[in-house]
């Protein structure tokens, strides 16, 4: 589309997903939909004890079933790597990673202990029920709160330096709040269950279609585990049906499918059931204690925050829960600590905005409690304590439009009409509550590479090994290439999700656009340089003497900015350079800005209505104002925030994975009993993107929006529930029994 008459622009313009048609027509194929020739099917046999040893595996009945090809166990499998280092992927936490089918030890309930492979999926599933396993059970430890009571150990990875004397300042503060907040285990539950289709190519070479957030990460992991050269292993993941962090690390279906394919010398698919999805990583439960002291005017004088999380017995997983207050609120006296308890579960893992979603829930609810105790409006309290610097790093922000987020969201929401007292607003039989909270997330960039190809007919191919788990990465890649090379969107083809493509990090943490997008921009810049050089070879070139800063690429031409009539078409430039195609690959490194702190911010306002008789809670309105640098595509960016807000509703009101402590296993391991928001739970969600210019963060000026939408949402809802009912619920999810109890 034209911007005036001088150029084509796609960045910042609402753009439909370029892969949308493929998805709605079913043409987009996922890991479990690939149909290689001679395909066999594997079904995982899961451990029924939480801890112990396998005394005996009897596979005879399973092998006797017509159509069964083999049963893989720790006693019958290909040779595997033996060192922990070989099992570590690029985002692995400290410790000893889980090794599927490695030995006779059972480390968690649901652990894969055998793989039945058959000609048909139904045969494999039936035969798996015939595998007889005798266990030597051992006493397991899965009760998180009981272990917290017994004592947790400090996590040295998250050791925060204290500021001032928080304890002394708290003792002297005229306004004080001490509280404990709890969150349960939560599971990701994307629509697409995990699957891998492994194709044995011969010559000791394998190709795997896997559900993953990082094809290169899965390729490197698989090559190390199987002892194969990386060049002999290829992982593809062109489409992913949701992941939310569960696919950052390779899941066990990947090595199991590859092992079976290698043994049988044929293609094998392994698909996990919904129940088996609950044997993977999860958002870990946590207990957070906070103590805030303030002057009577609301100015913070002491901020203490401790978080205890859970991890497996074999790895230490935890993210930053307690550090965020130092980026949000000015306070001279601060003490923060994180601790861990080890349980006989699989290792927990990243789930959307890991650490931030949990930490800000407790921080922002406690700030709301402080506001209520001090008799100060919750928004005003945050403005009183607004911090212009990252106090941990003693650095100003490269950009921070949080004040504008507060202002615009409050105005859109109608915050000035809020009655301060709890239980003072009604709508018929329902109590009405208005709550708000702040969101913050790191604005990161990681090293990434991309390749761009321009052909003589104006076609462009842009490629990177990155993933697209739903945020619109295909579209982002297409937009940047079309914008920078001055071609139409439909002339650009994006390729991703292939470990053979230029390398990129796993997709997560809201750093994909800043990382991969910067690499695409760098490659396009090199093509621009080549094209301008070609154009200047033309006799009497209208671009003679021009630099890249003097020209613009638009509508298939290179034009002078000061005179659009002086232009050379891309086709003529290519002919002048006798180039049928131009290929450039570039790598982008993180911008070295040591003078500033880099964060994304948001302000979330929520309205709830609570049925006074039965305690039913409805989230009727949410306004989320986000400052995230340059927004390349308002359509996909808004979709990210809306989806994240829905996730925040789930955190606040619905999601909880319950453990049967007697058996050490998760009980509600299905979508009937693990509650997530459905259409009836989601009402008006209003998203505001606050303009924010950032010239130092990366070449594109972007910060990312994948995580920020969920950070603060659960707290805003919880604060609204308190305002509606006068009942402060400090353990999630907020259910009607807790409101009425």
Q: Encoding tokens for residue 407?
A: 């202002």
Q: Using CA atoms, how far apart are residues 632 and 706, in angstroms rounded to an integer?
A: 13
Residues 629 and 597: their CA atoms lie apart, in Å, by 13
Residue 207: CB partners within 8 Å, gap ≥ 6? 198, 199, 201, 234, 235, 236
Specify whether the backbone of 112 is left (phi greater than 0), alpha (psi in -120 to 50) or beta: beta
Q: Rg (Cα) of the chain, in Å, rounded?
A: 27
Backbone angles phi, psi at 423, to 5 degrees: 65, 25
- CA distances 362 to 195, 357, 711, Å, are 36, 9, 11
**Contact criterion met (CB below 8 Å) for 609 and 725:** no
Question: Active-site residue 707, yes or no?
Answer: yes
Residues with Cβ within 8 Å of 199's Cβ and at least 6 positions away in sequence, in order, are 34, 36, 206, 207, 208, 209, 261, 267
Structure tokens at 730: 């400090």
Longest CA pairwise span in the chain (Å): 86
Using an 8 Å Cβ cutoff, are 673 and 679 in contact? Answer: no
C-alpha torsion angle, residues 145, 146, 152, 158 (rounded to 10): -20
Report DSSP letters for 230-292, one per residue.
GGGEEEE-S--S--TTTTSSPPTHHHHHHHHHHHHTSEEEEE--HHHHTTS--BPPEEEEEEE
CA distance 554 to 534: 17
Can you tell me the distance from the alpha carbon of 503 to that of 384, in angstroms, rounded to the nearest whole number? 45
CA-to-CA distance for 398 and 702, rounded, in angstroms? 12
- Bridge partners of residue 619, in order along the sequence: 608
Q: Which residues contact 265 (CB under 8 A, 6 or more apart)?
A: 200, 202
Neighbours of 619 (CB within 10 A): 26
Cis peptide before 179 (omega within 30 of 0): no
380 vs 393: CA distance, rounded Å: 26
Question: Phi and psi (nearest 5°) for 135?
Answer: -110, 155
**Annotated catalytic residue, options 192, 430, 483, 707:** 707
Report the catalytic residues: 707
């Amino acid at each position: 589309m034209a911007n005036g008459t001088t150029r084509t622009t796609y960045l910042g313009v609402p753009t439909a997903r370029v892969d949308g048609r493929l998805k709605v027509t079913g043409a987009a194929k996922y890991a479990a939909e690939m149909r290689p020739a001679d395909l066999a099917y594997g079904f995982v046999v899961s451990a029924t004890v939480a801890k112990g040893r396998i005394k005996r595996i009897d596979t005879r009945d399973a092998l006797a079933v017509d159509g069964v090809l083999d049963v893989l166990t720790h006693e019958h499998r290909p040779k595997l790597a033996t060192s922990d280092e070989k099992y570590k992927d690029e985002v692995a936490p400290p410790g000893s990673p889980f090794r599927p089918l490695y030995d006779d030890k059972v480390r968690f309930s649901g652990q894969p202990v055998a793989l039945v492979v058959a000609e048909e999926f139904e045969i494999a599933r039936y035969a798996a029920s015939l595998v007889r396993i005798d266990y030597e059970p051992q006493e397991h430890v899965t009760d998180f709160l009981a272990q917290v009571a017994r004592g947790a150990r400090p996590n040295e990875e998250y050791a925060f330096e204290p500021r001032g004397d928080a304890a002394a300042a708290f003792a002297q503060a005229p306004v004080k709040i001490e509280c404990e907040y709890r969150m349960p285990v939560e599971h990701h539950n994307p629509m697409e269950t995990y699957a891998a289709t492994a194709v044995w190519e011969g010559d000791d070479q394998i190709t795997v279609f896997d559900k993953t957030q990082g094809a290169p990460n899965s390729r490197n992991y698989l090559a190390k585990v199987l002892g194969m050269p990386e060049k002999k292993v290829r992982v593809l993941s062109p489409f992913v049906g949701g992941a939310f962090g569960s696919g950052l690390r390779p899941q066990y279906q990947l090595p199991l499918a590859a092992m079976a394919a290698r043994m049988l010398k044929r293609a094998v698919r392994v698909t996990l059931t919904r129940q088996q999805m609950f044997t993977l990583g999860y958002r870990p439960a946590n207990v957070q204690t906070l103590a805030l002291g303030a002057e009577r005017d609301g100015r913070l004088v002491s901020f203490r925050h401790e978080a205890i999380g859970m991890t497996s017995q074999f790895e230490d997983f935890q993210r930053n829960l307690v550090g965020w207050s130092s980026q949000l609120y000015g306070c001279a006296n601060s003490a923060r600590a994180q601790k861990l308890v080890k349980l006989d579960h699989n290792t927990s893992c990243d789930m959307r905005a890991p650490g931030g979603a949990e930490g800000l829930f407790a921080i922002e609810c406690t700030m709301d409690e402080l506001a209520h105790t001090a008799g100060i409006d919750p928004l005003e309290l945050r403005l009183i304590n607004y911090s212009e610097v990252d106090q941990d790093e003693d650095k100003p922000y490269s950009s921070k439009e949080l004040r504008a987020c507060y202002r615009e969201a409050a105005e859109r929401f109608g915050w000035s009409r809020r009655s301060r007292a709890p239980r003072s607003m009604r709508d018929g039989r329902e109590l009405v509550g208005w709550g708000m909270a702040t969101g913050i997330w790191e604005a990161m960039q990681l090293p990434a590479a991309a390749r761009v190809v321009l052909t003589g007919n104006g076609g462009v191919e842009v490629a990177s090994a990155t993933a697209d788990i739903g945020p619109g990465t295909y579209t982002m890649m297409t937009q940047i290439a079309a914008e920078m090379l001055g071609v139409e969107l439909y002339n650009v083809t994006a390729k991703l999700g292939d470990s053979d493509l230029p390398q990129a990090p796993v997709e997560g943490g809201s750093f994909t656009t800043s990382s991969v997008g910067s690499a695409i921009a760098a490659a396009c810049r090199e093509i621009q340089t080549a094209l301008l050089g070609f154009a200047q070879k033309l006799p009497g070139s209208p671009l003679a003497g021009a630099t890249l800063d003097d020209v613009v690429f638009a509508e298939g031409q290179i034009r002078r900015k000061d005179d659009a009539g002086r232009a050379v078409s891309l086709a003529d430039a290519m002919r002048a350079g006798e180039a049928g195609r131009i290929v450039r690959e570039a790598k982008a490194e993180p911008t070295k800005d040591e003078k500033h702190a880099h964060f994304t911010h948001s302000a979330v306002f929520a309205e709830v209505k609570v049925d006074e008789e039965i305690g039913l809670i409805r989230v009727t309105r949410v306004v989320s104002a986000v400052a995230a640098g340059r927004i390349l595509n308002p359509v996909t960016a808004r979709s990210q925030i809306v989806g994240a807000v829905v996730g925040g509703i789930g955190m606040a009101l619905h999601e909880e994975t319950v453990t049967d402590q007697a058996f050490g296993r998760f009980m509600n391991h299905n979508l009937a009993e693990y509650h997530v928001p459905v259409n009836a739970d989601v009402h008006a969600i209003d998203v505001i993107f606050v303009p924010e210019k950032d010239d130092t963060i990366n070449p594109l000026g972007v910060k990312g929006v994948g995580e920020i939408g969920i950070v603060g949402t659960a707290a805003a809802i919880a604060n609204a529930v308190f305002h509606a009912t006068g009942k402060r619920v400090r353990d999630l999810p907020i259910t009607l029994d807790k409101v009425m109890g």
